[in-house]
Amino acid sequence: MTPFEPLVSPASHASLASADGVWTHLRLATKASEQAAIVVADGKIGWVGPRADLPAEFAALPVHDGGDALVTPGLVDCHTHLVYGGQRANEFAMRLAGASYEEVARAGGGIVSSVRATREASEDELFASAAKRLECLLAEGVCAIEIKSGYGLTLEHERKQLLVARRLGEAFGVTVRTTFLGAHALPAEYAGRSAAYIDLVCEEMLPALAAEGLVDAVDVFCERIAFSLAETEQVFKAAQRLNLPVKLHAEQLSDMGGAALAARYGALSCDHIEHLSTAGIEAMRAAGTVAVLLPGAFYTLRDTQVPPIAALREAGVPMAVSTDHNPGTSPALSLLLMVNMACTLFRLTVPEAIAGVTEHAARALGLQATHGAIAVGMPANFVLWDLREAAELAYWVGQRPVRCVVRQGRVALHD
Ligand code: NIG
Ligand code: FE
């Protein structure tokens, strides 16, 4: 394959224009009727508030004219499987012809077919294909992203995926949180030996990868076609021994009781949760676990079981929204489209959906101190949108409303 030049190499990210100065002619999405200003100093938010209240000490700084743009915090995509080999359009066609996701998986397709392609791909090939996908997300204002392993399923190939995830973060100057998902599917060579595979995950793969600094969190696919509740708990215990936070693919196709288990382990998030029970909601509320909604997978699988949004809302469980980008169930590369779908399919309000891709998504990654808000002291991550009002973020489908992205204190993208 041809050598790949990332759009923004490590050196060039550092050489992008600094965002330091006063950003004026802005309207914060949370209060679009008011003129606001943002001060960026040393790549961090130095001040934010109504333009009229800008302290005199900042008046002499260089000015960036926002041109009356609407502003949100940089977006956070808190659940992706961005690094993998190949693609699975053939399964999309099989499902159109009537096969279910479970049937495709049981017929040797599904996750294990991406495992084959991922094992065959070199690190550079994986980097090149994932970089293209990442560029789509960044162009829409994503400033932090979670990337899971789970298509390698051996120490060597899980490491390869996680190394690519780290490289992407460095190359593009974007915050990447890596999640080890060794317990994503049973690899073919362990057919009928699930217990032995989970032992390998817990005793060899996870400790080795964690020691290499490649793991920020640990996830499991707890489902009839994946791993049981007991196996999930075994992985959580291994994570706990290493002081790593956990999260869970929970109650996507059935109610396995995974969310309550994850909450007992203080999970950062439970994701999918179409079949979440009342007990699961209560456990998540008590533990402060974020509910990550993945309308792209719901849509692609033509699911009909909507997550219990009203009950989550009533319980005060924070709801995040993410692409779940993966080659099987959510080939989506637009977080704004997920905002639209969260509103249309799941009936989130616009402010809920926006919080879902900013504040609550940051929390789902344990990044609430640095991402998901425009607040004094945080690294400067914000997006200027060519829009009049916040509802337009959820309303348009396929528009490209980004005017400018400030990522990690640099002007990463502008029109
Ligand atoms: O989040 N649910 C499990 N994992 C992915 C699907 C991965 C695949 O089909 O390749 C998901 O939907
Ligand atoms: Fe997923």
Q: Is 111 in the pocket of ligand 1 (CB under 6 A)?
A: yes
What letters, b where the CB count within 10 A reaches 16 and e where it falls short, cover 271-308?
bbbbbbbeebbbbbbebebbbbbbbbbbbbbebeeebb
Residue 333: partners with Cβ closer than 8 Å, 6 or more residues away: 133, 136, 137, 323, 325
Neighbours of ion ligand 2 (CB under 5 A): 324
Per-residue model confidence as pLDDT tens digits over 275-285: 999 999 999 99
What letters, b where the CB count within 10 A reaches 16 and e where it falls short, cover 142-181?
bbbbbbbbbbbbbbebbbbbbbbbbbbbebbbbbbbbbbb
Summarize the confidence of residues 230-240 as an average pLDDT.
98
Minimum-distance ligand 1 atom for the alpha carbon of 297: 12
* The pLDDT of residue 58: 95
**CA end-to-end distance (rounded Å), the chain:** 31
Q: Is 371 in the pocket of ligand 1 (CB under 6 A)?
A: no
Report which protein residue has its CA nearest ligand 1's atom 1. 324
Per-residue model confidence as pLDDT tens digits over 85-119: 999 999 999 999 999 888 888 777 899 999 999 99
Summarize the confidence of residues 378-397 as an average pLDDT.
98
Per the prediction, the chain carries an average pLDDT of: 95
Taken in order 111, 215, 291, 198, is the CA torsion positive or negative?
positive
Q: Is 297 in the pocket of ligand 1 (CB under 6 A)?
A: yes
Q: How far apart are CA 332 and CA 335, in angstroms?
A: 8
The pLDDT of residue 1 is above 60: no
Residue the block writes with tokens 């049937």: 103
Residue 222 phi, psi dihedral angles, 5° rounding: -95, 105
Q: Is 347 left (phi over 0), alpha (psi -120 to 50) or beta?
A: left
Q: How far apart are CA 174 and CA 7, in angstroms?
A: 12
Summarize the confidence of residues 342-357 as an average pLDDT.
98
* The pLDDT of residue 4: 47
Closest listed residue to residue 259, CA positions, set 237, 234, 292:
292
The pLDDT of residue 2 is above 50: no
From the CA of 168, how far away is ligand 1's center (Å)?
21
Per-residue model confidence as pLDDT tens digits over 122-178: 999 999 999 999 999 999 999 999 999 999 999 999 999 999 999 999 999 999 999
Contact 36, 28 (CB under 8 A): yes
- Encoding tokens for residue 125? 């090939």
In angstroms, how far is CA 246 from the centroid of its own chain? 15
CB atoms closer than 10 angstroms to residue 28: 22
Q: Is 252 in the pocket of ligand 1 (CB under 6 A)?
A: yes
* The pLDDT of residue 7: 52
Per-residue model confidence as pLDDT tens digits over 44-95: 999 999 999 999 999 899 999 999 999 999 999 999 999 999 999 999 999 9
Residue 95 phi, psi dihedral angles, 5° rounding: -70, -35
* The pLDDT of residue 8: 53
Per-residue model confidence as pLDDT tens digits over 296-320: 999 999 999 999 999 999 999 999 9
Q: How far apart are CA 217 and CA 243, in angstroms?
A: 9
Per-residue model confidence as pLDDT tens digits over 249-261: 999 999 999 999 9
From the CA of 326, how far away is ligand 1's center (Å)?
6
* The pLDDT of residue 3: 43
* The pLDDT of residue 9: 53
In angstroms, how far is CA 389 from the centroid of its own chain? 25
Closest listed residue to residue 41, CA positions, set 25, 64, 11:
64
Summarize the confidence of residues 197-202 as an average pLDDT.
98
- Residue 108, classified by CB atoms within 10 Å of its CB into exposed (0-12), middle (13-18) or buried (19+), is exposed
Per-residue model confidence as pLDDT tens digits over 389-413: 999 999 999 998 999 999 999 999 8
Look at residue 9 and give its three-state secondary structure. Answer: coil
From the CA of 80, how far away is ligand 2's center (Å)?
6
Q: How far apart are CA 131 and CA 137, in angstroms?
A: 10
Minimum-distance ligand 1 atom for the alpha carbon of 110: 9
Which of 184, 227, 302 best tests ligand 1's pocket when mutated (most atoms within 8 Å of CB)?
184
Residue the block writes with tokens 């059935």: 254
Report which protein residue has its CA nearest ligand 1's atom 9. 328
* The pLDDT of residue 108: 79
| 113, 128, 255, 279, 318 from 261: Cα distances, Å | 29, 37, 12, 11, 18
Our separate counts of H helices and E strands in the chain read: 17, 15
From the CA of 324, how far away is ligand 2's center (Å)?
5
Contact 137, 213 (CB under 8 A): no
Minimum-distance ligand 1 atom for the alpha carbon of 272: 1
Taken in order 344, 346, 351, 356, is the CA torsion positive or negative?
negative
- Pairing assessment for the beta strands 319-321 and 44-50 based on DSSP bridges: unpaired
Contact 340, 354 (CB under 8 A): no
Residue the block writes with tokens 């800008």: 54
Per-residue model confidence as pLDDT tens digits over 5-14: 555 555 577 7
